[in-house]
Amino acid sequence: MSATLQPSSSTPRGSRVIVYLLFFFALISPSPIWPAIGVRGFVLVVLVSGVLCLTLMLSQRALKIRWIAITATLFALAVVPAMYWSDVRLALYPVFLVSAALLVMHSNATERDHFVVIASKFMLILLIGAVIGYLLAAYGVQPLFTFNNTDGRPNYFFYTTLTNVYEADFIRPSGIYDEPGAFSFFVCLTAYLREATGKSRPMTFALLLLGLITFSITHLIFFAIFILTSQAGRLKLIQFAVAFSLLMAAVLASGGGQVIEDRFLSRLALTDEGTIAGDTRTLLFLNAAVVLFTSDHAALVGADSDCTLNKESCVEKFGPMGENLLSPLVSQGVFISWPYYLFLVLGLVSLTQGRRGLLFFAVALLYVQRPYLLNLGYSVTAILALYAYFAFASAPQRKAGHRQRARPPLKTLRE
């Protein structure tokens, strides 16, 4: 078997296999269902990468030199903390990002476009299920069963959605993910990819509007930025404001106002300490900052190898410091976490690119709240977002009322 894949004249066409691999790796693999049934993330990576490599050979697609260079750089730099902590597992930590890059970089525009279509339909189904599950809980229906997330917290199955936030007759739906914030994250990423690839905006608005069922503050921020960047004039903004006002009036008339006030607006209220009630990240950030600035090696190789390989042990040593802007740096050090911070820098630079740049900046904000760029699933969506952004930034601006670009017909896809 030759290690070099030869290019084919048919590569502009699409492969359904690669589309399905994108869908599985990006949106299905991050589900806590896999570890709950005993399937580890590395197993999923091996399976996806094996199928992908076979597909690339059969379609005679050449391995890209830049992917080889990126892979070599990632693993070479990861060797530094692996040698420092004498643990070879740290050298393998970039494997999720490397496999994600292999998949996305060797897909073509047709395949990525079809992924967005499938992802949109899937998210819509999950959101409809989330609304049904929310209503079931509101009427006192008990969850069908419970299992533990990888962090030990219980995850409840409400027939059509999962959730780890269950209080009396209230839930915050999380789709097939470990928590509502993760569900909101993938809804927002799908919305961004739809906008960047010229998909219908009414469907995108529907996804983001239904995504409010997660009661995520970050979702609300992303939605607000999306509205600012997508409305092409004062009239459009007025039309949206009227439609949104009518919807809110209907919700209030149906008695939903108290729920919004108790479960959503209360999370935006200021506490006596001057922080936002729904803010769960500030203390984590401050603790991570203390560890980072009191350790002479944390910035380079992480505070401890356990912060990457054994979270419970890390919390016992340093206290909780995950899920914030500094957690990748303090956990893995710059030799492993640098792709995450490079992504955030690109998000800041994108602010110079007008409305389109602002929307990508909103994507970067999602990764500030969920700093998992090197993790299973999140690595795929990050690279897809980058590809979409650079294509989006170079495409002509859409005018108000301009017809959306039609996606390629299904017949362009091969098995």
Phi, psi dihedrals of residue 276, rounded to the nearest 5°: -80, 135
| Residue 205 within a domain | yes
* 272-303 pLDDT, tens digit each: 454 444 456 678 888 888 888 888 888 999 99
In a domain? residue 248: yes
User: Is position 222 within any domain?
Assistant: yes
Backbone angles phi, psi at 130, to 5 degrees: -65, -40
In a domain, 73, yes or no: no
297, part of any domain = no
Angle at 153 between CA 99 and CA 274, to 5 degrees: 100
Ranges in the chain, pLDDT < 50: 1-12, 254-257, 261, 269-272, 274-278, 400-411, 415
Q: Encode pLDDT of 373-398 as tens digits.
A: 999 999 999 999 999 998 876 666 65
Number of domains composing the chain: 1
**Does 213 map to a domain?**
yes
Backbone angles phi, psi at 141, to 5 degrees: -70, 135
Q: What is the pLDDT of residue 90?
A: 94
User: Residue 1's pLDDT is what?
Assistant: 33
* Strand pairing class (14-15; 413-414): parallel
In the prediction, which pLDDT does 375 show? Answer: 94
Asked if residue 382 lies in contact with residue 96, where contact means CB atoms within 8 angstroms, the answer is no
- For the chain, give the percent of residues with pLDDT over 70: 79
Task: Give the separation between CA 54 and CA 1, rounded to whole angstroms.
Answer: 11
Q: Which domain holds residue 223?
A: 111-263
Q: Are 130 and 183 in contact (CB under 8 A)?
A: yes
Please indicate, yes or no, if residue 283 is contained in any of the structural domains.
no
Instruction: Let me know if residue 161 belongs to a domain.
Output: yes
Length of the chain (residues): 415
Element (H, E) at 163: strand 162-163
Helices (H), 40-148: 41-58, 65-85, 95-105, 109-138
Q: Which residue from 52, 42, 60, 45 is spatially nearest to 17, judged by alpha carbons?
A: 52
| Average pLDDT value for the chain | 84
Q: Which of 260, 168, 170, 272 is nearest to 212 (CA)?
A: 260
Question: Closest by alpha carbon to 58, among 111, 5, 4, 112?
Answer: 5
